[in-house]
Amino acid sequence: MLSKEEKTKIVESLQIHRKDTGSTSVQIGVLTSQIKLLTEHCNQHKKRLQYPAWVG
């Protein structure tokens, strides 16, 4: 999960105006950063990708 400081930095770099936190570009930037963090986590912890026995 992104820290508050990381999210603030992303939002500030993509804002259209001072109070802009919900524009498409800001949302995409935050989601892209979260996806990158999750991808790194999954690459480091490959065993966590296995499904539990009760799934499928």
Tens digit of pLDDT for each residue in 1-25? 899 999 999 999 999 999 998 999 9
Distance from C-alpha of 14 to C-alpha of 30, rounded to nearest angstrom: 10
In a domain, 42, yes or no: yes
Q: Which domain holds residue 28?
A: 22-46
In a domain, 37, yes or no: yes
Total domains present in the chain:
1
Across 51-55, average pLDDT: 63
pLDDT surpasses 70 at 37? yes
In a domain, 3, yes or no: no
Distance from C-alpha of 14 to C-alpha of 56, rounded to nearest angstrom: 42
pLDDT surpasses 70 at 31? yes
